[in-house]
Structure 1
Amino acid sequence: MIRNSKYIYSDEVIDVPSHLHAGRYFIDSLHAFGDRVALTNGEKHTSITYAEIVRDAMSIAVSLTRMGVKRGETVGVCMETRVEYWPIVIGASCTGAAINPFNIGYTADELKHVLNITKPKYMICSEIAYKLHSGTFKTMQFIETTITIGGSGQTTYEDLLKNEINYADFDVVDVDGKNDSLFVLFSSGTTGLPKGVMQTHLNVISICSLKNALNTNDRTLFITPWYHTMGLLGVLRYLQTGCDMVFLPKYETNLYLRTIERYKIKQLLLAPPVLVATSKSKAKYDVSSVIFIYSGAAPLRKDTIEDAKKKFINLKAVTQGYGMTETTLAIIRDTYEKAHLAKPGGVGFVVSGCVVKVIDIETGKVLGPNEPGEIRVKGPAVMKGYIGKDISEDFDEEGFYKTGDIGYYDDDKYFFIVDRLKELIKYKGYQVPPAEIEAVLLQHPAILDAGVAGVPHPAGELPRAFVVLQPGASVSEADIHGFIAEKLSDPKHLRGGIRFVNEIPKNPSGKILRRKLKEMVLERSKL
């Protein structure tokens, strides 16, 4: 009945529609923007309008319902980044089904793992995805119908578009918005196998109803893949505001910079590795149009922000957000209207409707300002749970989700993320955050990218650095050791050694795959 003085509560409430139906919410929102351009493919220079998305989404919803799609069933979506994604997602959301986007780049074993979690009855995929994975699809007996864009499946995407539906006549299938899953996404799997995260209609609407992290009047460039929560929910958030968005199917530095120049992009929404690579590029393109950058999916460090300001000469602000698939998107973040309050290296304030506490990882005690501990969150954006997993393992007795991330808030209730609890390197009782060492390594002019993992040792673990050099650059291990020793305290020195590699293993959202780094450590230790 009385608020805990050490919990951080948001200052505002969220306005959500009483129907709590995300399909209805998106159809209504997008319809209001008519023939305005919604999305442009920055590589192929083709566009789709809001009216076209709504028209196709309504037709797809009717077709899927006539095919037998029912509330509570699962529709799988597997394709590269392309404009048809959004009519499919929004149309399927109107049927009452749960939508399960898949990574087109999964191996056969990875795909089998995730398919056996969600068991989609219907699969909608591109021709490329079908050619890659049809063999796996055919072994999954629960997949009854395959729909392809182009034509190899039992039904084609074009078949779904043959209905002429008037907006005024269209209705959605009823759902229990608080409890019915809208999306089943997979957690990143940086430390283990992916788990199926159930995001409800309420989760999605509450995130999309928040104040904007970007200026919706300015053209924005997106790069994050759409099967990932940052790409999926990030685009949906801005579609319902009428934003003019440009996207790229893949990241390539020159293409990215060329797209900024051609389309006079004002805002970038990206993950830190993209900003690092873009800022360090020597290619000559006019990127003076960029005035605002919002970063997510992984920590963004102060030195990266400084490099970005040098690259984008008219940049007014670089802001961040902190979230995960389990919180549907950012649950702590900066906003466009409060960008002037952003602090270097920080991730912002608690979003509307949510509560955050910080817990001592040893004692369970609730901590106050400037005391690092595990971040735990509660609110309408927090997932329903994992498929097939008891939620008691992931939520505490007060209903707070245990994020497994270490962070703290300052006296202004502004948050900073330190590292993942499971990723901390333990050296002689010291807790060493690998992300902190990585951030310092990236300050070295010869280093393009870096990852740090612990090497087993009687003292616990020793930090080892995996380093990718800038093209044409040269630096010795001794130089790197000295660079780290000069900037970081003794427990954070690279006693586990340095390895030069061609790339750092990451998932599509830009997070370092720690388990892959661990495998690289073990491989070398066996030699």
Structure 2
Amino acid sequence: MTPLSGSIDNIIRTPDLDYTPDPKGLGYVLHQRMKSFGDKIAQIDGITGKKDTYDFLLQRCIRMAIKMRSLGVTHEDIICTCCLNHFDSCVPYIAALFLGTKVCALDPSLGEQDIVHLLQQVTPKIIFVDSDAEELIHKTINKIQKDVKVIVVLNVLQPNAEEHCFQPYETNDVFDTAIIFFSSGTTGLPKGICIHHYGMLSQIHNYFNSGCCSDAYLTFTSLYWVTSAFVVLATILRGNARILIPKFNPELVWNAITKFKPTSLNLVPFHCVIMCRNKPKNADTSSVTHLGVGGSVLVQSQMLDIQEAFPTSQLFPAYGQTEMSFAVTFFNVNSERDREFIKSKPTSSGTVVPGIWYKVVDVDTEEILGPNEPGELRVKTKFCMKGYYNMDSSCAFDSDGWLKTGDLVYYDEDKCFYVLDRLKDFFKFQSWHVPPAFVENILMQHPEIATALVIGLPNDVDGNHLMALVVLKNAKSKVTPKEIEEFVEKRVDDRKRLRGGVRIVAHIPLSATGKAKRREIRDSVLRGEL
């Protein structure tokens, strides 16, 4: 069906999704699909080549679910994982869904303070960890002083007499929360984003229909990321295989591409740049038919580099939001028209998706804009999040119930969307969200600093380098920018370092309402005016 556009009100309305998710929920569907795939390959170790079948994966997930149930876990609880990418990292995640339990994930590379904040937002009953992350998680639990059990994943996968008669939980409402992801939303520090069964199943259905299905996906990110969780669930529902690398390493990824012939990769621009710069001479990319790119703005020079590194691959640019369960715009590979758009509009992030309505509004007046007029993208759909966990979510929506994406975009006459910038306060460093408020709080602990503002300076490789503008309490202070950088560096993890430096200023420009306009201040810095 062809999307319909409101020619009078400039609202783009697409047809309702021609799909009804199974009312029994995500866990039930996963269980049934895994049973049907038997000895098909589910996972391949991207370093050793070892293979894992759906039968064996299902057996371990059921054993884990039974273990959880014996520990008192029910559909009312939350289970968390903190694992790198390996054969068993998805086991407690899937097992929780089998029980109708809400599930979330942390990334082992997160700093201790980050994890403390996240666990204060969403406190799980159990956290399943790799042995390497056990000490870190125990430290954070001691700080939040909550009763949370920590279990090393590999220690509980034992045979159980009940596994042959196990039955998954059946939900009563597909709009109940299934998964909680952590993201900063439109403002502030990370929040728990509640994604329901309907949203995830519907987005996977759209993904299948877009022609993105692939026999073997190469992945290297943890389940902390919505894209990684989405690929796990989508491959299971389709019976595809995943080739696993523990974490991003360009040499390991290139080796896996050459040895194990994945047909699909999903990358963010940062990964693309590093991959292109480290491509071995003998690398064979001919197996990669589909290359998904999203997560942040992709500039044309990066696009050309990717096409050179993967000359036979179909590039598939997309734009998504965690709050939307995955994609907001993408191109349909099955559509000849969309395939032409990918070639002729290389910086576009895709076109409209069935089941989503779109409007672009003026940032100041909220007037609904037409084609080629930049403004904030807002969307309305049943895929949208249920809300923020245990928090007021009203700030995420406008008065008419549209989700405020916080992104500056425009669309052209063909309804192809272009993402220009983020209106959100946070920045991305190597695809990680870095909330400036966190670094600003660290800066304000310095005895010589009166006020501080952190901005992101564009960087071709990392996305953004954080820079601090600080106003000193005493103009005669002898503190230097380098000393302030070192003060911050001792108190933050690597991604929050002030790689853009520190600038001592007499004052920080504020708007009439007393708020700092980060984007305008950043532009002033880039122009040398501040």
| Range into which the TM-score falls when normalised by the shorter chain | 0.7 to 0.9
Deviation at 1:394, TM superposition (A): 1.1
Q: Which stretch has the larger CA shift, 170-179 or 199-208?
A: 170-179
Deviation at 1:252, TM superposition (A): 1.8
Q: Counterpart in 2 of 1:63?
A: 67
Equivalent pair of 1:230/1:296 in contact (CA under 8 Å): no
Residue number among 429, 437, 451 corresponding to 2:464 in the alignment:
451
Deviation at 1:401, TM superposition (A): 0.7
Q: Is 1:259 matched with 2:272? A: no
After TM superposition, list the pairs within 5 Å mapping 1:423-434 onto structure 2.
none
Q: Counterpart in 1 of 2:163?
A: 165
In structure 2, C-alpha distance between the alignment counterparts of 1:20 and 1:525, rounded to whole Å:
58
After TM superposition, list the pairs within 5 Å mapping 1:119-134 onto structure 2.
119-134=123-138
Equivalent pair of 1:14/1:210 in contact (CA under 8 Å): no
Deviation at 1:30, TM superposition (A): 2.5
Q: Counterpart in 2 of 1:206?
A: 202
Q: Is 1:231 matched with 2:244? A: no
In structure 1, C-alpha distance between the alignment counterparts of 2:348 and 2:135, rounded to whole Å:
43
Deviation at 1:24, TM superposition (A): 0.5
Q: Counterpart in 2 of 1:349?
A: 351
Equivalent pair of 2:61/2:94 in contact (CA under 8 Å): yes
Residue number among 351, 370, 373 corresponding to 2:372 in the alignment:
370
**Residues 136 and 207 of structure 1, relative CA distance in 2, 3 Å threshold:** same
In structure 2, C-alpha distance between the alignment counterparts of 1:224 and 1:334, rounded to whole Å:
23
Q: Tell me, what secondary structure is at the counterpart of 1:51? A: helix
Q: Tell me, what secondary structure is at the counterpart of 2:27? A: helix
Q: Counterpart in 2 of 1:466?
A: none
Residue number among 273, 277, 281 corresponding to 2:274 in the alignment:
277
Equivalent pair of 1:405/1:419 in contact (CA under 8 Å): yes
Equivalent pair of 2:84/2:247 in contact (CA under 8 Å): no
Q: Counterpart in 2 of 1:82?
A: 86
Q: Is 1:72 matched with 2:71? A: no
Equivalent pair of 2:469/2:503 in contact (CA under 8 Å): no
Q: Counterpart in 1 of 2:305?
A: 307
Q: TM-score scaled by structure 2?
A: 0.77
Equivalent pair of 1:359/1:375 in contact (CA under 8 Å): yes
Deviation at 1:231, TM superposition (A): 0.9
Equivalent pair of 1:291/1:312 in contact (CA under 8 Å): no
In structure 2, C-alpha distance between the alignment counterparts of 1:58 and 1:42, rounded to whole Å:
25
After TM superposition, list the pairs within 5 Å mapping 1:494-509 onto structure 2.
none
Deviation at 1:209, TM superposition (A): 1.8
Q: Is 1:417 matched with 2:419? A: yes
Q: Counterpart in 2 of 1:250?
A: 247
In structure 2, C-alpha distance between the alignment counterparts of 1:96 and 1:423, rounded to whole Å:
34
Q: Counterpart in 2 of 1:381?
A: 383
> CA RMSD of the aligned region, Å?
3.3
In structure 2, C-alpha distance between the alignment counterparts of 1:371 and 1:251, rounded to whole Å:
37
Letter in 1 for 2:235: Y
Q: Which stretch has the larger CA shift, 337-346 or 114-123?
A: 337-346
Q: Tell me, what secondary structure is at the counterpart of 1:407? A: strand
Residue number among 389, 392, 407 corresponding to 1:390 in the alignment:
392
Q: Which stretch has the larger CA shift, 254-263 or 180-189?
A: 180-189
In structure 2, C-alpha distance between the alignment counterparts of 1:192 and 1:398, rounded to whole Å:
22
Q: Which stretch has the larger CA shift, 284-293 or 232-241?
A: 284-293
> Deviations along 1:329-349, whole A, 9 cap, x unmatched?
112112332351323111112
Q: Counterpart in 1 of 2:215?
A: 218
In structure 2, C-alpha distance between the alignment counterparts of 1:24 and 1:59, rounded to whole Å:
16
Deviation at 1:261, TM superposition (A): 0.7
In structure 1, C-alpha distance between the alignment counterparts of 2:186 and 2:282, rounded to whole Å:
34
In structure 1, C-alpha distance between the alignment counterparts of 2:403 and 2:169, rounded to whole Å:
30
Q: Tell me, what secondary structure is at the counterpart of 1:224? A: coil
In structure 2, C-alpha distance between the alignment counterparts of 1:367 and 1:189, rounded to whole Å:
23
In structure 2, C-alpha distance between the alignment counterparts of 1:134 and 1:285, rounded to whole Å:
44
Equivalent pair of 1:181/1:200 in contact (CA under 8 Å): yes
**Residues 121 and 92 of structure 1, relative CA distance in 2, 3 Å threshold:** same
- Structure 1: segments with no counterpart, 5+ residues: 151-155, 426-433, 443-447, 459-506
Deviation at 1:164, TM superposition (A): 4.9
In structure 2, C-alpha distance between the alignment counterparts of 1:384 and 1:190, rounded to whole Å:
15
Letter in 2 for 1:59: R
Deviation at 1:216, TM superposition (A): 2.9
**Residues 219 and 521 of structure 1, relative CA distance in 2, 3 Å threshold:** closer
**Residues 224 and 14 of structure 1, relative CA distance in 2, 3 Å threshold:** farther
Q: Is 1:36 matched with 2:17? A: no
- Structure 2: segments with no counterpart, 5+ residues: 428-454, 472-491, 506-530
Equivalent pair of 1:210/1:352 in contact (CA under 8 Å): yes
Deviation at 1:69, TM superposition (A): 0.8
Tell me the matched-pair count. Answer: 450
Equivalent pair of 1:9/1:350 in contact (CA under 8 Å): no
Equivalent pair of 1:124/1:147 in contact (CA under 8 Å): yes
Q: Is 1:525 matched with 2:492? A: no
Deviation at 1:37, TM superposition (A): 0.7
Equivalent pair of 2:43/2:242 in contact (CA under 8 Å): yes
Deviation at 1:158, TM superposition (A): 2.1
> Deviations along 1:80-104, whole A, 9 cap, x unmatched?
2121122221111121221121121
Q: Tell me, what secondary structure is at the counterpart of 1:300? A: coil
Q: Counterpart in 2 of 1:197?
A: 193
Deviation at 1:206, TM superposition (A): 1.6
Deviation at 1:395, TM superposition (A): 0.7
In structure 2, C-alpha distance between the alignment counterparts of 1:424 and 1:208, rounded to whole Å:
28
Deviation at 1:3, TM superposition (A): 8.2
Equivalent pair of 2:214/2:263 in contact (CA under 8 Å): no
**Residues 225 and 67 of structure 1, relative CA distance in 2, 3 Å threshold:** closer
Letter in 2 for 1:196: G
Letter in 2 for 1:246: I
Q: Tell me, what secondary structure is at the counterpart of 1:100? A: strand
Deviation at 1:297, TM superposition (A): 1.4
Deviation at 1:520, TM superposition (A): 4.8
Equivalent pair of 1:74/1:99 in contact (CA under 8 Å): yes
**Residues 454 and 82 of structure 1, relative CA distance in 2, 3 Å threshold:** closer
> Deviations along 1:283-342, whole A, 9 cap, x unmatched?
323223133311121122222121122222323x21111112211111211233235132
Q: Is 1:93 matched with 2:97? A: yes
In structure 1, C-alpha distance between the alignment counterparts of 2:40 and 2:202, rounded to whole Å:
25
Letter in 2 for 1:404: G
Deviation at 1:377, TM superposition (A): 1.3
Equivalent pair of 1:14/1:209 in contact (CA under 8 Å): no
Q: TM-score scaled by structure 1?
A: 0.77
In structure 1, C-alpha distance between the alignment counterparts of 2:292 and 2:82, rounded to whole Å:
27
> Deviations along 1:121-143, whole A, 9 cap, x unmatched?
12222212213322333455543
Deviation at 1:228, TM superposition (A): 1.0
**Residues 273 and 35 of structure 1, relative CA distance in 2, 3 Å threshold:** same
Equivalent pair of 2:465/2:500 in contact (CA under 8 Å): no
Q: Tell me, what secondary structure is at the counterpart of 1:419? A: strand
In structure 2, C-alpha distance between the alignment counterparts of 1:163 and 1:352, rounded to whole Å:
45
Q: Counterpart in 1 of 2:289?
A: 291
Q: Is 1:53 matched with 2:63? A: no
Q: Tell me, what secondary structure is at the counterpart of 1:205? A: helix
